[in-house]
Amino acid sequence: QVQLVESGGGLVQAGGSLRLSCAASGRTLSTYTMGMGWFRQAPGKEREFVAAISWTGGSTEYGDSVKGRFTISRDNAKNTVYLQMTSLKPEDTAVYYCAARSRSGVVVSSTGYNYWGQGTQVTVTS
């Protein structure tokens, strides 16, 4: 099976940047040709799509609220997917979850993913 572990969360001031990492173990991302995604959930709110990337990295998708500020990337040789977050806003505060799916393409619905990490907290102060 596949295990996902997020890291890189923390406390940052508005306008700052953070880089999240999601490390996969158990099986490599490349051999399973997995599409990857990032979701987030703030207290009292539904889980929200943030970004997704295909197995090859040639296709990406972003939620409207983060478009132009966040960048998703992957390094299959390192079994790692990244989320570079810039121009952070207080409304970006949430627990960020990494997800993987047993298909190569991009999807924006959480139901399209069958592996999930435990999440990493991102807090943006004003």
Note whether 36 and 2 are within 8 A (CB). Answer: no
- For every residue of 33-58, DSSP letters joined together read T-EEEEEEE-TTS--EEEEEE-TTS-
Statement: residue 98 has pLDDT above 90:
yes
Statement: residue 96 has pLDDT above 80:
yes
Separation between Cα atoms, residue 45 and residue 64, nearest integer Å: 16
pLDDT for the residue numbered 30: 56
pLDDT in tens, 27-68: 655 556 789 999 999 999 999 999 999 988 999 999 999 999
